[in-house]
């Protein structure tokens, strides 16, 4: 069939900001492929067949299998690779761990990245400066600095009572200083899945 354009997206941001929750909402795998979920033997066989056909179709790694079994979202160790499709694109997302000790991994994937999703916990006022530092380091990295790659910001956890608005977050991160890249910020609630589609639509428009 028609092959959709493949785009590598880096999903970055501090730990606990909601990156994995966002990616989980976007990927179509809330289906459980684990045989544990299919008690009957036919179900067992079919779930396996379906899984391998699915893997082949989407060129997924075995990595995915282990991720698919984990229903609860836990802090990401290192990174994980996920795929999801939009109407015209096939996104491969590098969901990086935001924990301090893994942040030095990010830069190894900058060259591959064709778009960036940067997630901020809008309720975490104390660490907004840390988020800004990481963003500035990212934007000044030689593999990113002179490239016109789109950056989508999610001001996530907007459901929290004391969450900062997207406008406030963009002021604190000085986003208006980003002149050489298209960027966009969306308020989101990744648990309910609100605000995510708007962001992905914007990203898709930037790449086409
Ligand atoms: P690392 O993998 O450690 O870098 O974290 P992460 O950015 O992937 O965060 P993760 O998706 O694991 O979410 C961290 C916690 O925040 C989880 O308990 C989520 O349920 C919660 N969370 C994520 N998004 C939202 C949101 O929009 N609102 C609220 N209230 N909680 C959220
Ligand atoms: Mg994560």
Question: What pLDDT does 175 receive?
Answer: 98
Q: How far is the CA of 15 from the centre of ligand 2 (A)?
A: 7
The mean pLDDT value for 76-92 works out to 94
Proximal ligand: closest to the CA of 72: 1
Share of the chain above pLDDT 70, in %: 80
1 pLDDT above the threshold of 60:
no
User: Tens of pLDDT along 11-58?
Assistant: 999 999 999 999 999 998 654 444 444 455 566 666 777 776 766 665
Question: Residue 57: which residues within 8 A CB-CB, separation 6 or more?
Answer: none
- What one-character DSSP code corresponds to residue 83? E
**Residue 86 and residue 69 in contact, taking contact as beta carbons nearer than 8 Å:** no
Q: Is the dihedral of CA 67, 59, 57, 45 positive or negative?
A: negative
ipTM over 0.95: yes
User: 34 versus 191: which is more confidently predicted?
Assistant: 191
User: Tens of pLDDT along 94-118?
Assistant: 999 999 999 999 999 999 999 999 9
CB distance 191 to ligand 1 below 6 Å: yes
156 pLDDT above the threshold of 90:
yes
Q: How far is the CA of 201 from the centre of ligand 1 (A)?
A: 22
In whole numbers, what is the pLDDT of the chain averaged over residues?
88
Any long-range contacts for 171-179 (C-beta under 8 Å, 24+ apart)?
Answer: 172/128, 172/132, 173/120, 173/128, 173/131, 173/132, 173/135, 174/132, 178/139, 178/151
Q: How far is the CA of 1 from the centre of ligand 1 (A)?
A: 36
Question: What pLDDT does 36 receive?
Answer: 45
Query: Nearest Cα to 128, choosing from 193, 175, 172?
Result: 172
CB distance 190 to ligand 1 below 6 Å: yes
Q: Which residues surround ligand 2, an ion (CB under 5 A)?
A: 19-20, 76
156: left (phi over 0), alpha (psi -120 to 50) or beta: beta
């Amino acid at each position: 069939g028609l092959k959709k354009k493949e785009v590598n997206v880096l999903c970055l941001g501090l730990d606990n900001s909601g990156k994995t929750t966002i990616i989980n909402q976007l990927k179509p795998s809330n289906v459980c492929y684990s045989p544990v979920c299919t008690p009957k033997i036919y179900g067992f066989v079919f779930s396996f067949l379906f899984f391998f056909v699915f893997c082949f179709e989407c060129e997924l790694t075995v990595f995915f299998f282990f991720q698919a079994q984990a229903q609860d979202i836990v802090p990401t160790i290192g990174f994980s690779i996920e795929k999801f499709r939009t109407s015209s694109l096939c996104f491969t997302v590098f969901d990086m761990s935001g924990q301090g000790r893994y942040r030095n991994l990010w830069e190894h994937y900058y060259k591959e990245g064709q778009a960036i999703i940067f997630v901020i916990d809008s309720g975490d006022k104390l660490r907004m400066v840390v988020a800004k530092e990481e963003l500035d380091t990212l934007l000044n990295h030689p593999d990113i600095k002179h490239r016109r790659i789109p950056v989508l910001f999610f001001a996530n956890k907007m459901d929290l009572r004391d969450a900062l608005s997207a406008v406030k977050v963009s002021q604190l991160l000085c986003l208006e200083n980003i002149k050489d890249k298209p960027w966009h910020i969306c308020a989101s609630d990744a648990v309910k899945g609100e605000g995510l589609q708007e962001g992905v639509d914007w990203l898709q428009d930037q790449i086409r």
